[in-house]
Amino acid sequence: MRSRARFPDVPRKAGHYESFYLKAARPGGGMAFWIRHTVHKRPGAEPTASLWFTLFEEGSAPLATKATFPAAELSAPAGAYIEIGGARLEPGQARGEARSEQLEARWDLGFTDPGEPFRHLPRGWLYKAPIPRTKLLSPYPQAVYTGQLTVGDREVEVEGWPGMIGHNWGAEHAERWIWMHGASFADRPPETSFDVALGRIKLGPWTLPWIGNGRLVLDGVEHRLGGCARPRFASARPPVTSRSPAAGSRSAAGSARRRATSSAGSTPTPTAASTTHSTARSPTSSCTSSATGFRRPRSR
């Protein structure tokens, strides 16, 4: 087991959110999927859980569905990461379905990743410290998927799709955040990948500068990325457009504004294209970015 679910250990009086998410794109581009298992618990209440599924296809609007379940259908079985409404994520395999009035989706996927988990936070003690209130790691940062997706009445074969599996949890979202992952870069070895998270957190009345943590695997060498950015911003900069994950080699998630009381790291909004408009100049330091996140309110 490369990670473990935290929600079973959360006291009843505490609030909590958690998600395990899968992302992959077809080699060469044109199609991608995003699957997410989420847990949301308000202080003093039982948790609820949701399954999210989105299929991106170049030239078409994304197809998306979400199904929500009560605490009785949420568990962390022995030998598995999480199970929601019968949809289970475990080492090497993900199976499940999500149904709504808009769409019915099913997945039966196997995955491999010979590498090690990647911990975005640079020190192990930060995963136990009260700050940051959001913890993030990639149990399978270079996963390769094989299997089948059923989206409505359509069957999609998945064969050697590069991607990842991520896990985040905590009591509060960052004030603003960005997550980016890229794989299957042209003219580069298949193990080349880019996995970075950036955030701004609140400490009392202050919002700290952007802090980024991630890694770039290039030509077989891992380069750790991270640091604190100088808060230099200019509102006159033109919008920056990011390619949809369906483009294959580049993807950006976390570009949609959502309240922390819904669920963490939500699936990109099902619009015709995945576009991020930057209203602030990117910090000029080791944790630079070509896009900016959106303000996310703290959980109550």
- What pLDDT score does 228 carry? 60
Question: Which tens digits make up the pLDDT trace of 259-299?
Answer: 333 333 444 433 333 333 332 333 222 333 333 333 343 44
C-alpha to C-alpha distance for 106 and 92, rounded to whole angstroms: 17
User: Does 1 map to a domain?
Assistant: no
At 50, the amino acid letter reads S
Higher pLDDT, 49 or 247: 49
- What pLDDT score does 252 carry? 37
With beta carbons less than 8 A apart as the criterion, state whether 278 and 44 touch.
Answer: no
Question: Which tens digits make up the pLDDT trace of 57-99?
Answer: 999 999 999 999 999 999 999 999 999 999 999 999 999 999 9
pTM: 0.75
Q: What is the mean pLDDT of the chain?
A: 80
Task: Flag whether pLDDT at 300 surpasses 50.
Answer: no
Helix (H, G, I), strand (E, B) or coil at 9: helix
Q: In this predicted structure, which of 25-29, 150-154, 209-213, 236-240 has the lowest mean pLDDT?
A: 236-240
Domain range for 59: 11-253
C-alpha to C-alpha distance for 51 and 83, rounded to whole angstroms: 10
User: Does 296 map to a domain?
Assistant: no
User: Does 283 map to a domain?
Assistant: no
Domain count of the chain?
1
Three-state secondary structure along 177-194?
Answer: EEEEEEECCCCCCCCCEE
Q: Which residue has the tokens 């090690």?
A: 116
Q: Which two tokens stand for residue 139?
A: 């149990």
Q: Choose from 45-49, 179-183, 253-257 the range with maximum mean pLDDT.
A: 45-49
With beta carbons less than 8 A apart as the criterion, state whether 228 and 209 touch.
Answer: yes
Helix (H, G, I), strand (E, B) or coil at 283: coil
With beta carbons less than 8 A apart as the criterion, state whether 113 and 93 touch.
Answer: no
Higher pLDDT, 191 or 78: 78
C-alpha to C-alpha distance for 257 and 40, rounded to whole angstroms: 17
Closest to 6 in 3D by CA, of 179, 94, 136: 136
Question: Which tens digits make up the pLDDT trace of 119-178?
Answer: 998 889 999 988 888 899 999 999 999 999 999 999 999 999 999 999 999 998 778 888
User: Does 47 map to a domain?
Assistant: yes
At 92, the amino acid letter reads G
User: Does 107 map to a domain?
Assistant: yes
> Which phi-psi region, left, alpha or beta, contains residue 83 (left: φ > 0; alpha: ψ -120 to 50)?
beta
- What pLDDT score does 31 carry? 97
Cα R_g (the chain), whole angstroms: 18
Closest to 82 in 3D by CA, of 139, 149, 24: 139
- What pLDDT score does 27 carry? 92
User: Helix-strand-coil percent breakdown of the chain, rounded to 5?
Assistant: 5, 45, 50
- What is 208-260 written as a DSSP string? PPPEEEEEEEETTEEEEEEEEPP----TTSPP-----GGGSS-EEE--S---T
C-alpha to C-alpha distance for 87 and 74, rounded to whole angstroms: 10
User: Does 297 map to a domain?
Assistant: no
Q: Which two tokens stand for residue 24?
A: 């992959």
Distance of alpha carbon 72 from the chain centroid: 25
The mean per-residue pLDDT over the stretch 241-258 comes to 39
- What pLDDT score does 185 carry? 85
Closest to 182 in 3D by CA, of 112, 236, 244, 264: 244
